[in-house]
């Protein structure tokens, strides 16, 4: 059954409106709780550092002729390698990025495990995947944030931390294009949020369109568009903002970071039909667990998101199966359908694990982020998109749930590969996606908020 009515009335709920459940409810969440306070939970030794990740990838490459490993970029601060791994030689191209936020570390761990299966496995499923898919994965997009050492993050000695942003500094005079939604100068050491750094149409700040990124409000340090509204290209206007697109469009990135450039080049070369990005979310609750299981709400193990949702409502432009008003104006109906199937498929797979842990998937509320991988790149090749949001950034929860988050990711990716390879992804009802409840985010005793934003993805 589909919640058509629910969606229409719930259309205003988006990424930034999902905060609020606090207090006693948050303290009671399960499963796995109660957990130690963050200060005792954080232990980064459970994760692969940059050097260890490189060694693991090289090991896998050396032992298998199925794998192609190459360095496709260098991080802005530490100048550590940005890796790309390709496996399979099928017609369906899948592009995957991980850990673009440094404190969201289980993607690379999952990639290593998946590569081990695909590089050495001989099962019919593995053969079918390698025959039908070409998988291009970037295990760790943000080595600077993943491996922040010492005071400026660049050293080899001192405290090892993980944090969201990279360490690239904006310098007066270097560029005028300081994007308010991507640059964090108030952090302990400044840097960029790389998942706000892409841009939809492939412009860079040095081309003739530079006026798009002019800083017009220096007091607020916001980079708004500085051209008359009638000159804003129609295909750049956000459909939900009829009068004034500036508020939304300033979030489009300038592609100044080497990490963004490496991802963009890798993406365009892969020319993917499917684009998947792995993240961690702020602790979230599954709103329907009390009805199903009794007692307090349980935590959501993961939220998923298709680049499609009620924020794209245009009266006359685009209609997706008569559903949720209108669709994403930058994607074909086919790509939107496949996006919904891609996300719902993983939800269905997790139901097979039985109630209580892996089947507490929720839907991540969608709001356009023009500088993100999914909004900035996927439309360029009309790729279906999926966002993984496993629970807890590492600076919120340390390594406590590492095994669970890696497992849910590995199982999700493997079922995706198998289902694209054998075509069964086409059997998923795309509208079932909307039956997943929206995640409820909360601030609680185990959720340390670090000031970048209340709800993070
Ligand atoms: Zn993220």
Q: Who surrounds ion ligand 1 at CB < 5 A?
A: 101, 104, 279, 457
Would the pLDDT of 39 be above 50? no
* Spatial CA neighbour of 221 closest among 274, 178, 251, 258: 178
More confident residue, 249 or 257: 257
Model confidence band, residue 54 (pLDDT cutoffs 50, 70, 90): very high
* Spatial CA neighbour of 194 closest among 98, 284, 271: 98
For the segment 173-229, what is each residue's pLDDT rounded down to a tens digit? Answer: 444 555 556 777 767 788 999 998 887 666 555 554 555 555 444 555 444 455 554
Determine whether 60 is exposed, middle or buried from the number of CB atoms within 10 Å of its CB (0-12, 13-18, 19+). Answer: buried
Give alpha helix (H) positions in 154-255. Answer: 246-249
More confident residue, 454 or 248: 248
CA distance linking residue 266 with residue 405, whole number of Å: 26
> Is 96 in contact with 138 (CB distance < 8 Å)?
yes
> Is 298 in contact with 29 (CB distance < 8 Å)?
yes
For the segment 64-107, what is each residue's pLDDT rounded down to a tens digit? Answer: 999 999 999 999 999 999 999 999 999 999 999 999 999 999 99
Residue 371: predicted pLDDT:
84
Over range 151-166, report the average pLDDT: 89
Determine whether 97 is exposed, middle or buried from the number of CB atoms within 10 Å of its CB (0-12, 13-18, 19+). Answer: buried
Question: How many angstroms does the Cα of residue 132 sit away from the middle of ligand 1?
Answer: 29
In this structure, the dihedral spanned by the alpha carbons of residues 149, 150, 151 and 152, taken in order and rounded to 10 degrees, is: -40
Question: How many angstroms does the Cα of residue 457 sit away from the middle of ligand 1?
Answer: 4
> Is 15 in contact with 374 (CB distance < 8 Å)?
no
* DSSP assigned state of 201: T
In percent, the amount of the chain with pLDDT more than 70 equals 65
Residue 203: predicted pLDDT:
58
Q: Which of 71-80, 250-259, 284-293, 376-385 has the highest mean pLDDT?
A: 71-80
Residue 448: predicted pLDDT:
38
Question: How many angstroms does the Cα of residue 281 sit away from the middle of ligand 1?
Answer: 7
Query: Can you read off the two tokens belonging to residue 9?
Result: 């009335």
| E strand or H helix that includes residue 376 | helix 373-376
> Is 229 in contact with 245 (CB distance < 8 Å)?
yes
Determine whether 298 is exposed, middle or buried from the number of CB atoms within 10 Å of its CB (0-12, 13-18, 19+). Answer: buried
Determine whether 85 is exposed, middle or buried from the number of CB atoms within 10 Å of its CB (0-12, 13-18, 19+). Answer: buried
Q: Which of 209-218, 252-261, 408-417 shows the lowest per-residue confidence on average (mean pLDDT)?
A: 209-218
Mean pLDDT of the residues in the chain: 76
For the segment 292-345, what is each residue's pLDDT rounded down to a tens digit? Answer: 766 777 888 899 999 876 555 444 444 455 544 456 767 888 998 999 999 999
The CB-side HSE value for 443 (13 A sphere, CA atoms) comes to 10
Residue 212: predicted pLDDT:
52
Q: How many residues does the chain have?
A: 457
Domain range annotation of the chain: 1-146+271-457
CA distance linking residue 342 with residue 359, whole number of Å: 16
Question: How many angstroms does the Cα of residue 63 sit away from the middle of ligand 1?
Answer: 32
Question: How many angstroms does the Cα of residue 85 sit away from the middle of ligand 1?
Answer: 21
Question: How many angstroms does the Cα of residue 284 sit away from the middle of ligand 1?
Answer: 14
Would the pLDDT of 246 be above 90? no
Would the pLDDT of 432 be above 80? yes
- The sign of the CA dihedral 300, 301, 306, 311 is positive
Assess whether the previous peptide bond of 427 is cis (omega < 30° from 0). Answer: no
Would the pLDDT of 383 be above 70? yes
More confident residue, 217 or 14: 217
CA distance linking residue 106 with residue 116, whole number of Å: 16
Neighbours of 56 (CB within 10 A): 18
Contacts of 114 (CB under 8 A, 6+ apart): 410, 413, 414
Q: In CATH, what class is 1-146+271-457?
A: alpha beta
The model carries a pTM of 0.82
Question: How many angstroms does the Cα of residue 294 sit away from the middle of ligand 1?
Answer: 31
Residue 237: predicted pLDDT:
53
Question: How many angstroms does the Cα of residue 341 sit away from the middle of ligand 1?
Answer: 22
Question: How many angstroms does the Cα of residue 62 sit away from the middle of ligand 1?
Answer: 31
Question: How many angstroms does the Cα of residue 165 sit away from the middle of ligand 1?
Answer: 10
Residue 386: predicted pLDDT:
97
Residue 196: predicted pLDDT:
87
Question: How many angstroms does the Cα of residue 168 sit away from the middle of ligand 1?
Answer: 18
More confident residue, 301 or 412: 412
């Amino acid at each position: 059954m589909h919640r058509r009515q629910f969606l229409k009335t719930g259309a205003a709920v988006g990424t930034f409106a999902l905060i609020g459940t606090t207090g006693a409810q948050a303290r009671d969440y399960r499963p796995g709780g109660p957990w130690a306070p963050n200060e005792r939970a954080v232990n980064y030794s459970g994760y692969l550092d940059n050097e260890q990740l490189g060694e693991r990838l090289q090991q896998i490459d050396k032992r298998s002729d199925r794998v192609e490993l190459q360095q496709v970029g260098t991080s802005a601060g530490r100048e550590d390698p940005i890796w790309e791994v390709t496996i399979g030689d099928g017609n369906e191209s899948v592009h995957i990025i991980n850990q673009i936020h440094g404190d969201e570390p289980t993607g690379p761990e999952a990639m290593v495990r998946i590569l081990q299966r695909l590089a050495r496995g001989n099962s019919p499923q593995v053969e079918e995947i390698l025959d039908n898919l070409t998988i291009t994965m970037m295990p760790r997009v943000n080595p600077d944030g993943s491996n922040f050492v010492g005071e400026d993050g660049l050293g080899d000695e001192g405290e090892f931390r993980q944090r969201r942003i990279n360490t690239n500094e904006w310098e007066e005079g270097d560029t005028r294009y300081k994007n308010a939604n991507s640059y964090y100068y108030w952090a302990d050491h400044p840097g960029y949020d790389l998942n706000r750094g892409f841009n939809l149409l492939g412009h860079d700040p040095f081309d003739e369109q530079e006026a798009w990124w002019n800083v017009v409000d220096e007091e607020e340090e916001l980079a708004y568009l500085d051209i008359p509204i009638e000159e804003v290209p129609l295909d750049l206007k956000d459909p939900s903002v009829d009068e004034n697109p500036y508020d939304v469009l300033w979030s489009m990135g300038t592609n100044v970071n080497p990490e963004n450039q490496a991802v963009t080049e890798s993406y365009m070369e892969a020319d993917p039909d499917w684009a998947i990005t792995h993240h961690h979310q702020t602790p979230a609750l599954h709103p329907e667990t009390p009805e199903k299981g009794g007692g307090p709400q349980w935590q959501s193990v993961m939220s998923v998101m298709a680049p499609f949702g009620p924020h794209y409502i245009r009266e006359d432009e685009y209609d997706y199966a008569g559903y949720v008003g209108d669709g994403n104006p930058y994607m074909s109906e086919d790509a939107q359908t496949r996006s919904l199937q891609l996300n719902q498929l993983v939800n269905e797979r997790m139901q097979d694990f039985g109630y209580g842990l892996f089947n507490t998937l929720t839907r991540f509320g969608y709001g356009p982020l023009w500088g993100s991988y999914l909004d900035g790149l996927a439309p360029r090749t009309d790729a279906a998109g999926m966002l993984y949001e496993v629970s807890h950034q590492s600076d919120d929860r340390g390594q406590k749930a590492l095994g669970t988050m890696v497992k849910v990711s590995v199982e999700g990716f493997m079922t995706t590969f198998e289902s694209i390879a054998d075509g069964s992804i086409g059997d998923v009802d795309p509208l079932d996606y909307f039956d997943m409840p929206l995640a409820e985010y909360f601030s609680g005793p185990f959720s340390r908020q670090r000031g970048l934003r209340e709800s993070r993805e």
